[in-house]
Amino acid sequence: MSFEDLVMNEEFWQTLWKEGRIGFHEGTVNDFLARFYSRLNLVAGNHILVPLCGKSFDLDWLLAKGLIVTGVEFNQGAVEEVFARLNLTPEVDEIGPLRRYRSGALTLFAGDFYAVTSDLLGPVDAVYDRAAMVAIQPETRANYAAHVVELTGGAQQLLIGFDYDQNAADGPPFSLAQELIMQAYGAQYTIELLKSIKVGGPFADGVDADEQIWYLQPKG
Strands 106-110 and 68-73: parallel
Cα 215 from Cα 162, distance rounded (Å): 14
Residue 52 labelled as part of a binding site:
yes
Residue 80 labelled as part of a binding site:
no
The pair phi, psi for residue 163, each rounded to 5°, is: -120, 115
Residue 35 labelled as part of a binding site:
no
Helical axes 141-152 vs 178-185, angle rounded to 10°:
50
89: number of CA atoms within 13 Å, CB side? 0
Cα 157 from Cα 49, distance rounded (Å): 9
Residue 59 labelled as part of a binding site:
no
Nearest to 162 by CA among 193, 128, 196: 196
Cα 20 from Cα 127, distance rounded (Å): 27
Q: Which residues are annotated as a binding site for S-adenosyl-L-methionine?
A: 17, 52, 73, 130
Q: Which residues are annotated as a binding site?
A: 17, 52, 73, 130
